[in-house]
Structure 1
Amino acid sequence: MKKQLIVINGTMGVGKTATCRSLKKILTPSVFLDGDWCWDMEPFVVSDENKAMVMENIAFLLRNFLQNSSLQYILFGWVIHQWEILDDLLNRLADLPFDCRVFTLVCTPEALQARLQRDVEQGLRTADVIPRSLQRLPLYEQMESEKVDVSRVSAREAAEEIARQIAARP
């Protein structure tokens, strides 16, 4: 069986990280890469140079995971709001044998706002993320990917649904 790159995308706060952490326990042997880890810098600066570095680092890590004989599933979570971003990453890995599935986590604006507000109250995010994330939400609805509505489900339930879909069409 070919390695499987499972991409979990969605807007900020929708539950990608929590879903991937749960999915890692269900789909084994697996590894989880959060694209945000490659952006974890202070100050956070979005520049052409930093974007190029982040893409190169993500591709490097994904390549190493895909080439590791002990792994079957590579879970990659990130805020991929444009298909061109994913195409760029996949083109960097085109010489490797693997199958790729893209799952987009979507939810209602109300559910997203409630999740983000909890994060703000816990000091995990700043309040400015709420309008930015809500503004991007429609971009994910338009993506040609497998959608998982997480409005009323836990991260564990979302992970179980994704695992079911993968098992149904390996």
Structure 2
Amino acid sequence: MKRLYLIGGPMGVGKTAACRCLQKRLERSVFLDGDWCWDAHPLQVTEETKAMVLDNIAHVLNNFLRCSAYDHVLFCWVLHRREIWENLLSRLDTGGCTVVKTALTCSPEALTARLERDVAAGLRTPDALERSLAYLPLYGALGVRLLDTTALTSEETASAILEAAG
């Protein structure tokens, strides 16, 4: 049976790194980072662009789900509101597929340290820290499995996701 892994969490919590580890461990896997469907300069957050990115993500994920070459479809994105999860899932053909939903979190201190390193390295803009910290408390209300990555490496995070998936 095919598995779809939906991994949410604020910027800097380790979603992409964990998905990269999962991709290496899971044979016949494919990975989509939601940010790749919205990589624009300058980034414009409007109703039109939000609708476009959800359409892009759903289209690519459905193609992966239909493709017999893949048994494991990995997707990560911020996914900080329940309606985003619901909207996305309503667009996906998950029949015959197990959906594994996980939100990664960590302590505010760990998130700050991670994002400050990324900003210093030029990987993120300074405003990412404020937004990410604001999103952090929202994940507890989503009704998905929470995984605290404060003390976990990306490999340990991937292991915990796989353990919970069964």
Q: TM-score range by the shorter chain?
A: over 0.9
- Aligned partners of 2:62 and 2:93 also within 8 Å: no
- Aligned partners of 2:3 and 2:99 also within 8 Å: yes
Higher alpha-carbon deviation: 5-14 or 92-101: 92-101
Superposed displacement of residue 164, structure 1: 1.5
Superposed displacement of residue 95, structure 1: 6.7
Q: Which residue of 2 aligns with 1:124?
A: 123
Q: Which residue of 2 aligns with 1:111?
A: 110
Match for 1:156: what amino acid? E
Give percent identity, aligned residues only.
49
TM-score for both structures, normalised by structure 1: 0.93
Superposed displacement of residue 91, structure 1: 1.1
| Divergent runs of 4+, >6 A | none
Match for 2:11: what amino acid? M
Q: Which residue of 1 aligns with 2:13?
A: 14
Q: Which runs of 5+ in 2 are unaligned?
A: none
Q: Per-residue displacement from partner, 1:61-100 (whole Å, max 9, x unpaired)?
A: 0000000101111000000011111111111124743221
Q: Which residue of 2 aligns with 1:26?
A: 25
Superposed displacement of residue 143, structure 1: 1.9
Q: Per-residue displacement from partner, 1:44-65 (whole Å, max 9, x unpaired)?
A: 0001111111111111100000
Q: Which residue of 1 aligns with 2:98?
A: 99
CA RMSD in angstroms, aligned pairs only = 1.2
> Structure 2 CA distance, aligned partners of 1:43 and 1:96?
37
Q: Which residue of 2 aligns with 1:62?
A: 61
1:166 is aligned to 2:165? yes
Q: Which residue of 2 aligns with 1:80?
A: 79
- Aligned partners of 1:26 and 1:163 also within 8 Å: no
Superposed displacement of residue 142, structure 1: 2.3
Q: Which residue of 1 aligns with 2:3?
A: 4
Q: Which runs of 5+ in 1 are unaligned?
A: none
Superposed displacement of residue 141, structure 1: 2.3
- Aligned partners of 1:18 and 1:155 also within 8 Å: yes
Q: Per-residue displacement from partner, 1:9-56 (whole Å, max 9, x unpaired)?
A: 001111100010001111221111000001100110001111111111
Between the two proteins, the alignment pairs up a number of residues equal to 166
Higher alpha-carbon deviation: 136-145 or 54-63: 136-145
> Structure 2 CA distance, aligned partners of 1:150 and 1:25?
19
